[in-house]
Structure 1
Amino acid sequence: MKTVPIEQALGHRLAYDVTEVTPTTVQSIITKGTLIEKRHLSLLRNAGHTLIYIEEDGLLEDGQDLIQEGPASFAIAQALAGSQVTIKKADSGKTLLLAKTEGLVKIQTDTCHWVNHTDVALVISKPSLSVVRTQELVAVVDLIPLTVSTVSLSNIIKHIGNPGFAIDIRPFLPLTVGLLITGTEVYEGRIPDAVAPIVQKQVQMYGGTQGTVQIVPDDEDLIVSALHSMVEEHDVVIVTGGMSVDPTDRTPFAIRRVADTVLKYGIPLLPNAMSMVAQKGETVILGISSGLVYYQQENILDKLLPLVFAQEPITREYLVSLGIGGLMPSFTKNFTKIHTP
Structure 2
Amino acid sequence: MFRKVKIEDAVGLKLAHDITEVNLDKNFKGVAYKRGYKIKNEDIEHFKSLGKYFVYVMDEETLESVVHEDDAAKMLAPLIAGENIDYDKPSEGKVNFYAKINGLLKVDKEKIIAINRLQIPSLPTKHSNIPVKEGEVVAAFRIIPLYCDNSIIEKVKEILVIPSLDVIPFKFKKAGVIVTGNEVYYGKITDKFLPKISSKLKKFDVEVIKSDILPDEKDVIVNKIKEYIKDVDILFITGGTSVDPDDNTKLAIREAGIDIIQEGNPIQPGNNFTIGYYNDIPVCAVPAAALFYKATALDIFLPRLIAGDKISVDEIAEYSIGGLCHFCKVCVFPVCPFGKA
Task: Give 1:149 deviation, angstroms.
Answer: 2.9
Partner amino acid for 1:301? L
Q: Which residue of 1 aligns with 2:295?
A: 298
Partner amino acid for 1:117? R
Give CA-to-partner distance per residue, 1:280-328, whole Å, 9 cap, x none.
1221101010111111x21222211111121111111111111111112
Match of 1:319 among 299, 316, 319: 316
Q: Does residue 80 in structure 1 map to residue 77 in structure 2? A: no
Task: Give 1:77 deviation, angstroms.
Answer: 1.9
Task: Give 1:59 deviation, angstroms.
Answer: 6.6
Three-state SS of the structure 1 residue aligned to 2:142 is strand
Q: Which residue of 2 aligns with 1:202?
A: 200
Cα distance change of structure 1 residues 38 and 199 upon mapping to structure 2, 3 Å threshold: farther
Question: How far apart, CA to CA, are the structure 2 residues paired with 1:17 and 1:316?
Answer: 55
Would you say the 8 A contact 1:269–1:300 is kept in 2? yes
Cα distance change of structure 1 residues 3 and 131 upon mapping to structure 2, 3 Å threshold: farther
Q: Does residue 265 in structure 1 map to residue 272 in structure 2? A: no
Match of 1:15 among 17, 32, 38: 17
Identity across aligned pairs (percent)? Answer: 25
Q: Which residue of 1 aligns with 2:231?
A: 233
Q: Which residue of 2 aligns with 1:70?
A: 70
Q: Which residue of 2 aligns with 1:24?
A: none
Question: How far apart, CA to CA, are the structure 2 residues paired with 1:14 and 1:110?
Answer: 34
**TM-score of the two chains, using structure 1 as the length reference:** 0.81
Question: How far apart, CA to CA, are the structure 2 residues paired with 1:71 and 1:306?
Answer: 36
Q: Which residue of 2 aligns with 1:47?
A: none
Q: Say which structure is richer in helix.
A: 1
Would you say the 8 A contact 2:73–2:90 is kept in 1? no
Would you say the 8 A contact 1:14–1:33 is kept in 2? no
Task: Give 1:39 deviation, angstroms.
Answer: 6.6
Give CA-to-partner distance per residue, 1:177-236, whole Å, 9 cap, x none.
100001111111111111111111111111212110110011111111111111111111
Give CA-to-partner distance per residue, 1:64-83, whole Å, 9 cap, x none.
43220012023222111103
**TM-score of the two chains, using structure 2 as the length reference:** 0.81
Give CA-to-partner distance per residue, 1:137-184, whole Å, 9 cap, x none.
1111120221123343233213312xx121111111242110000111
Partner amino acid for 2:4? T
Task: Give 1:53 deviation, angstroms.
Answer: 5.3
Partner amino acid for 2:148? V
Three-state SS of the structure 1 residue aligned to 2:86 is strand
Q: Does residue 152 in structure 1 map to residue 152 in structure 2? A: yes
Deviates more, 1:32-41 or 1:84-93: 32-41
Would you say the 8 A contact 2:234–2:306 is kept in 1? no
Q: Does residue 249 in structure 1 map to residue 251 in structure 2? A: no
Cα distance change of structure 1 residues 261 and 32 upon mapping to structure 2, 3 Å threshold: farther
Cα distance change of structure 1 residues 120 and 39 upon mapping to structure 2, 3 Å threshold: same
Cα distance change of structure 1 residues 259 and 286 upon mapping to structure 2, 3 Å threshold: same
Partner amino acid for 2:102? E
Unaligned stretches of 5+ residues in structure 2: 21-28, 35-42, 331-341
How many correspondences in the alignment?
A: 310
Give CA-to-partner distance per residue, 1:8-45, whole Å, 9 cap, x none.
99xx9681599xxxxxxxxxx9879579756754xx9x
Partner amino acid for 2:289? G
Task: Give 1:58 deviation, angstroms.
Answer: 4.3
Would you say the 8 A contact 1:16–1:92 is kept in 2? no
CA RMSD in angstroms, aligned pairs only: 2.9
